[in-house]
């Protein structure tokens, strides 16, 4: 059933990937598309209903067009808030398992969004990184850039790494994470020139999420 899917990565941890993913879910729902999301790997989880769950994954689950079992949304939930290759030492990420669950989801909705963990080269196990997961899913990538000091270097490096991976980058989203950043607009303009992929939207700084408003800032 899936018409389109995207893999959401970021310039770093806390770049705004989850807000961007859910804003994209709202954007597609506004176009009368059915949409569901995955956060296949999550650290920093807590016990809920007898199993480990993650706040971001629960948000993605709640904002889908239809109810999806949590195990499909977040197959690898780790308690420690550290890199998955450390947190999951006793239950390492298996990419084939994630791909299988993704294939199950493809038949349920027109749009499937998959949020990564950390940045592009964040390790998932002792051999593979987020970039390998994106390759295994064969989805075009949307890069979330946290607009803060150092963002130009981080964005250029990540965009270059995506291209070197041989994966299409559909564009980037600017997320203003620092309310006190100097020359914010100038940094975004610099990135518009430096990154050879389209800017899909600019999210202004918000203390609390307003996903309907953020969806209105997007143009795909």
pLDDT digits (tens, 9 = 90+) for 116-172: 999 999 999 999 999 999 999 999 999 999 999 999 999 999 999 999 999 999 999
Q: Which of 96, 102, 106, 98 is nearest to 4 (CA)?
A: 106
Domain ranges across the chain? 4-215
pLDDT bucket at 181, cuts 50 / 70 / 90: very high
Q: Which residues are catalytic?
A: 39
pLDDT at 220 over 90: no
Span 65-76, pLDDT tens digits: 999 999 999 999
> Which of the four CATH numbers 1.10.490.10, 3.30.56.10, 3.40.50.300, 3.40.430.10 does domain 4-215 have?
3.40.50.300
CA distance 118 to 150: 16
Q: Which residue, 37, 51, 50, 45, is CA-closest to 8?
A: 37
**Cβ atoms of 112 and 105 closer than 8 Å:** yes
């Amino acid at each position: 059933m899936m018409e389109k899917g995207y893999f959401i990565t970021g310039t770093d941890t806390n770049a705004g990937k989850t807000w961007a993913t859910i804003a994209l879910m709202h954007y597609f729902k506004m176009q009368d598309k059915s949409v569901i999301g995955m956060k296949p790997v999550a650290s920093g989880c807590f016990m809920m209903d007898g199993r480990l769950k993650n706040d971001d994954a629960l948000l993605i689950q709640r904002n889908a067009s239809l109810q999806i079992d949590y195990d499909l949304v977040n197959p690898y939930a780790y308690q420690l808030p550290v890199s998955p290759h450390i947190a999951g030492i006793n239950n390492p990420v298996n990419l084939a398992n994630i791909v299988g669950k993704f294939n199950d989801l493809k038949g349920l909705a027109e749009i499937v969004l998959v949020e990564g963990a950390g940045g592009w080269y964040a390790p998932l196990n002792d051999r593979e990184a987020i970039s390998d997961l994106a390759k295994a899913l064969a989805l075009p990538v949307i890069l979330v850039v946290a607009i803060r000091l150092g963002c130009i270097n981080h964005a250029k490096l990540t965009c270059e790494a995506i291209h070197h991976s041989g994966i299409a980058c559909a564009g980037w989203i600017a997320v203003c994470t620092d309310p006190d950043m100097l020359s914010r607009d100038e940094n975004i303009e610099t990135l518009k020139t430096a990154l050879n992929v389209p800017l899909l939207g600019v999210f202004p700084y918000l203390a609390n999420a307003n996903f309907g408003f953020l969806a209105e800032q997007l143009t795909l």
